[in-house]
Amino acid sequence: MATKIRLQRHGRKGYAFYQVVVTDSRAPRDGKFIERIGSYNPNTNPATIDLNFERALHWVQVGALPTDTTRTILSREGVYMKKHLLEGVKKGAFDVDAAEAKFEQWLTKKKLSLQDVKNKVREATKASAKTLLEAEKEVNKTKATALSKKRAELAAVIAQKAATEAAEVAAAEAAEAVELAVTTEAPETEAVVEADQITETQSVD
């Protein structure tokens, strides 16, 4: 029976994640499998891989053929590096301890590289958040300026209206005062005229 290492799709539309499974090459993609050896989530940056290293190495050593994507996953996790080193031990190129030391060195370098990628992603995310925050502050500042200008214009209109109304009231009060003064002086004038007429009459007599 030919075996393959492939991805089995799970998750919802637009957010798929995968199980890394060993299966019969004749089985459908999401059908029955022999063993699940890990998971792969491409929705994170970098992608999240959870792999049973020993079982993956076992299946690669017994001849299971991975798909292109699973080969990349296994290479990233060091499965093929370990397989290569173990083959070197079998051929007598170096002993097991040297193979383990080489693998640990490779694994450390790989982890540092992966951590560097994570740090860069984190820094880029912070920079993006900072840019968005500055843009939001600028928008809020523009809105506040526009609102202050609008309030100032409204206050000016209200003040002008109040001044106009006060001027109208003052004018009306002045007109009323003049009218009242004229009305008060009129009887006095009539009385003076009448007194003059009486004086003239007496003089004639």
Same domain as 178, residue 135: yes
Residues in CB range of 107: below 8 A, 6 or more apart = 78
Q: What is the pLDDT of residue 20?
A: 94
Q: Look at residues 64, 93, 122 and tell me which one is the last residue of a structural domain.
A: 93
Q: What is the pLDDT of residue 163?
A: 86
Could you tell me the CATH number of the domain that includes residue 25? 3.30.1320.10
What rounded mean pLDDT belongs to the chain? Answer: 85
Q: Look at residues 62, 93, 124 and tell me which one is the last residue of a structural domain.
A: 93
Q: What is the pLDDT of residue 205?
A: 56
Same domain as 104, residue 59: no
Strand order in the sheet with 3-12: 48-51, 35-41, 15-24, 3-12, 65-66
Assign 189 to helix, strand or coil.
helix
Output the pTM of the full model: 0.59
Q: What is the pLDDT of residue 179?
A: 79
Q: Look at residues 51, 78, 93 and tell me which one is the last residue of a structural domain.
A: 93
pLDDT under 50: residue ranges of the chain: none
**Domain of 10?**
3-93
